[in-house]
Amino acid sequence: MLLIECPWCGPRAETEFSHGGEAGITRPANPDALSDAEWADYLFYRSNPRGAHRELWNHARGCRRWFVVERDTVTNRIAGSFRLDEALPVPASAAGKQAEQGD
Amino acid sequence: MQRYSAFSLLRNALGHNRNWGRVWRSPEPKQGYDAIIVGGGGHGLATAYYLAKNHGMSNIAVLEKGWIGGGNTGRNTTIVRSNYLWTEAALLYEKSMQLWEGLSQDLNYNVMFSQRGVYNLGHSLQDMRDIERRVNANRLNGIDAEVVGTAELGKAIPHLNISPGARYPVLGASLQRRGGVARHDAVAWGFARAADALGVDIIEQCAVTGIDVSGGKAVGVQTTRGPIASDRIGVVVAGHAGVLAQMADLRLPIESHPLQAFVSEPIRPVLDTVVMSGAVHGYISQSDKGELVIGAGIDAYNGYGQRGSFPVIEHAMQAIVELFPVFSRVRMLRLWGGIVDVAPDACPILSKTPVEGLYFNCGWGTGGFKATPGSGWAFAHTMAHDEAHELNAPFSLERFSTGALVDEHGAAAVAH
Ligand SMILES: Cc1cc2nc3c(=O)[nH]c(=O)nc-3n(C[C@H](O)[C@H](O)[C@H](O)COP(=O)(O)OP(=O)(O)OC[C@H]3O[C@@H](n4cnc5c(N)ncnc54)[C@H](O)[C@@H]3O)c2cc1C
Ligand SMILES: [Zn+2]
């Protein structure tokens, strides 16, 4: 069971939350200007990293607020939770680096 | 290859079973091949087999980072059916079903394909409408399907709780009589042995760590056993598709999730068919050893660890006890997880990519075991001709930008 830290309510059990997928995907300001491939990338393509992953969670059975969690997708270790209105630290994952563990 | 037959069984029995030969060779990798398959699961091995058998290519290597069949192929609940709603999907899975029906003979290896029937239960009026729609769609595509009522269910599956007082009462089901189960390991081993006999090199303990691309063309792979050249590379690594895509600077519309299954202690024969329920989300059959084989849902979040979360286990157990109260005191023996590659429309990707000579076969998600032979068959065609077969043409990467998704999510009975 994951222990997820809600920035407002503190650490709570995974069952109180729902997962909202990869964080940081913003709806393009002007969809008409995009090519089909760019639109597809926004809709369907995800980075799906093996390692550090920034993802949205919603405290659905709690305060019902959204926030960002950085979690390792191999070990499930959570590096931190961040409010949507705060600047995220320099991402460990943004370079697209993969964790080097085997499984 | 030593052919298996009743006579070979007898001969080897007389030799106290000490003279059985190796089932496939364990060759050193060559410097180059006409084609490389990355991933020695059922789909990769089937691709190699059909490349050799149908397309006359034999200078092929299958590169597997662990042991063959150690991925989802050896971790799944082995349900085989072809009753998908949409024509594109139905035809692909039905091709597979037809190959399953002759597979043991074709491979000269008993894959223990058992057509014991698959029931998909309906628990609400809307479930039943969807079931009727799907059964009719299946029939129009020439796929056997029936709607059965509770009276018939009660006779066919005596321990199923069909009482109207159940929390989620069973109102009926679809039945595909040709559906069933097969032995997962035997599928990997059977394809490996048959491919090996046609000259394919199966190289285990060989992880691909890089894909070499030059001038927009695939030219080879880097592996833990050295570089291997090839201008035709098929990537068939299920949950690791994204990791391999990244090696070639590609992105995929795929996310990886843990999916769990469990088996119980062996018990006397009690269930001679396969029962699935999308509404309570559980599916169950009984193995020939007597274990109840139970599947769960995926973890909602991405994951590459081959284990899943406890709430999902609990949920699957609740579903099974709801359907079969008689199993409430059966103990679970083992549980495990696999990493499944889920596409937005719950349909596979068997496709060329923007890199010439690089092909991906992935996105089978929670339900690709049933497709193993058909997937290999179609993907071999795609790799041999650099062009999709009409069966897998709808399953290209382009569908995500054209919008021609094959939306089986929710449309199929349950995703397995
Ligand atoms: C718990 C569970 C239950 C399921 N139940 C069903 C079911 O009832 N019916 C059904 O039809 N489907 C089911 N599935 C889905 C099914 O198992 C898969 O869709 C199918 O087996 C995928 O086969 P594959 O050959 O593509 O992948 P795999 O068998 O996973 O093979 C991929 C291989 O690639 C290898 N690999 C990965 N990275 C590398 C690398 N870098 N270099 C070399 N090799 C690499 C892996 O080690 C692995 O052996 C289930 C899956 C799970 C996990
Ligand atoms: Zn909260």
Beta strands in B225-273 (DSSP E): 228-229, 233-235, 255-264
CA of A11 to the centre of ligand 2 (A): 9
Using 50, 70 and 90 to split pLDDT, how confident is the model at A102? very low
Amino acid at B79: I
Is the residue at A98 inside a domain? no
What pLDDT, on the 0 to 100 scale, is given for residue B208? 98
For B224-277, write each residue's pLDDT tens digit. Answer: 999 999 999 999 999 999 999 999 999 999 999 999 999 999 999 999 999 999
Using a CB-CB distance cutoff of 8 angstroms, which residues of chain B are in contact with residue A22? 302
Global pTM reads: 0.95
- Spatial neighbors of B143 by CB under 8 A, at least 6 apart, are B82, B83, B90, B94, B97, B176
Instruction: List residues bridging with B360 in a β-sheet.
Output: B235, B351
Is the residue at A14 inside a domain? yes
d(C-alpha B228, C-alpha B297), whole Å? 38
Amino acid at B60: I
Question: Chain-wide mean pLDDT for chain B?
Answer: 96
Is the residue at A100 inside a domain? no
Range of the domain at A36: 3-23+30-83
Instruction: List residues bridging with B32 in a β-sheet.
Output: B229
Residues 283-312 of B with CB under 8 A from A: 300-306, 309-311
Tell me the best of B43, B76, B204 to mutate to test the pocket of ligand 1, counting ligand atoms within 8 Å of each CB and taking the most.
B76
Instruction: Please state which of the ranges A48-57, A81-90, B77-86, B397-406 shows the lowest mean pLDDT.
Output: A81-90
Cross-chain Cβ contact B311/A41 below 8 Å = no
For A66-82, write each residue's pLDDT tens digit. Answer: 999 999 999 999 999 99
Angle at B389 between CA B386 and CA B393, to 5 degrees: 95
Using a CB-CB distance cutoff of 8 angstroms, which residues of chain B are in contact with residue A103? 304-306
- The crossing angle, in degrees rounded to 10, of helices B42-55 and B184-197 is 30
If one counts every other C-beta atom within 10 angstroms of the C-beta of residue B132, the result is: 15
Total of domains in chain A: 1
Is the residue at A77 inside a domain? yes
Residue B16: phi and psi, rounded to 5, are: 55, 30
- Average pLDDT rounded to a whole number, residues A15-20: 97
Query: Cβ(A67)–Cβ(A75) under 8 Å?
Result: no
For B153-192, write each residue's pLDDT tens digit. Answer: 999 999 999 999 998 999 999 999 999 999 999 999 999 9
Cross-chain Cβ contact B251/A45 below 8 Å = yes
Q: Maximum CA pair distance of chain A?
A: 43
d(C-alpha B403, C-alpha B338), whole Å? 29
Is the residue at A89 inside a domain? no
Residue B224 DSSP one-character state: T
- The crossing angle, in degrees rounded to 10, of helices B372-385 and B87-101 is 110
d(C-alpha B370, C-alpha B312), whole Å? 23
CATH code of A76's domain: 3.30.2270.10
Is the residue at A102 inside a domain? no
Is the residue at A11 inside a domain? yes
What is the ipTM for the molecules in this complex? 0.91
Using a CB-CB distance cutoff of 8 angstroms, which residues of chain A are in contact with residue B252? 45, 48
B254 touches chain A (CB under 8 A): yes
Cross-chain Cβ contact B256/A48 below 8 Å = yes
Cross-chain Cβ contact B300/A37 below 8 Å = no
Beta strands in B326-404 (DSSP E): 332-342, 349-352, 358-362
What stretches of chain A show up as alpha helix (H) in DSSP? Answer: 36-43
Query: Cβ(B122)–Cβ(B152) under 8 Å?
Result: no
Residue B240 CB burial class (10 angstroms; 0-12, 13-18, ≥19): buried
Residue B273: phi and psi, rounded to 5, are: -145, -170
For B288-321, write each residue's pLDDT tens digit. Answer: 999 999 999 999 999 999 888 999 999 999 999 9
Which residue is closest in CA terms to ligand 1's atom 9? Answer: B79
For B195-205, write each residue's pLDDT tens digit. Answer: 999 999 999 99
Residue of A nearest to B71 (CA): A103
Is the residue at A13 inside a domain? yes
Q: Enter the tokens of residue B180.
A: 């069933």
Q: Enter the tokens of residue A60.
A: 């659905």
